[in-house]
Structure formats: structure tokens, C-alpha cells
Amino acid sequence: MHSVGDNSSDTQERLYKMLEKLQTLARDIPPKFQQRLPYDLLSSLAHVLLNNTVFEIVQELAELQHMTEKSLHQQRSQMINKHKGDRTTINAAAGWCSRVP
């Protein structure tokens, strides 16, 4: 059985590992962007990343975005098809009008 102290120690260890990974990633980006990632920001980001709630929110938002994009794509396809039909009708009517004496 883990005690509260063990849990705190585990969390602290995970935090250090996450911060270490973030610092490694930060070193791989161009120097002009590294200036914008101070230790305090990386530390705050590591704290946030340890909270699964953030991941769940991001996952839900990504799913919502996917559904919205799919819906918008379908609407766009329907609108394009409608406009093609309208254009065909207009062209046919224009052709008919030009043949009327």
C-alpha cells in the first residue's frame, strides 16, 4: 500500500522527468524561440501536463473539432453540388432563350 508521502514522491519524480523532457525539446528548437521558453514556463507546462484532466479536455476538443470539420465539409459538398445544378439549369435556360425567335 502506498502512503501519501509515496504518492507525493511519485508525482515529484514524474514532474522532474516531464520537465527534463520539455527542456530537451526546448533545446532542439531554433534559438530565437528558446528565448520565449524560460524555465518557469516549462515548469508550469510540466505541472499542467501531469494533470489528466487537461488531456481529456484536449481530446474532447479535438473530437469536437473533427465533427465540426466533417459537418462543414459535407455542407460545402452539398453547396457545390447545388451550385453545379443551378449553373446547369441557368445555362440550359440561356441556351433555350437564345433559340427563341
Give yes or no: residues 56 and 78 share one domain: yes
The range of the structural domain enclosing residue 101 comes to 52-101
Total of domains in the chain: 2
* pTM (predicted TM-score): 0.49
Residue whose entry in the numeric block shows the C-alpha cell 440550359:
92
pLDDT, residue 19, reads 92
Measuring CA to CA, how many Å separate 72 from each of 28, 67, 79, 83, 98?
A: 37, 9, 10, 16, 38
State how far the Cα of 65 lies from the Cα of 57, in Å rounded to an integer. 12
pLDDT, residue 100, reads 53
pLDDT, residue 99, reads 61
State how far the Cα of 13 lies from the Cα of 46, in Å rounded to an integer. 11
Give yes or no: residues 44 and 68 share one domain: no
pLDDT, residue 32, reads 87
Give yes or no: residues 35 and 2 share one domain: yes
Give yes or no: residues 27 and 72 share one domain: no
List of the chain residues with pLDDT < 70: 1-6, 96-101
State how far the Cα of 10 lies from the Cα of 14, in Å rounded to an integer. 6
pLDDT, residue 1, reads 46
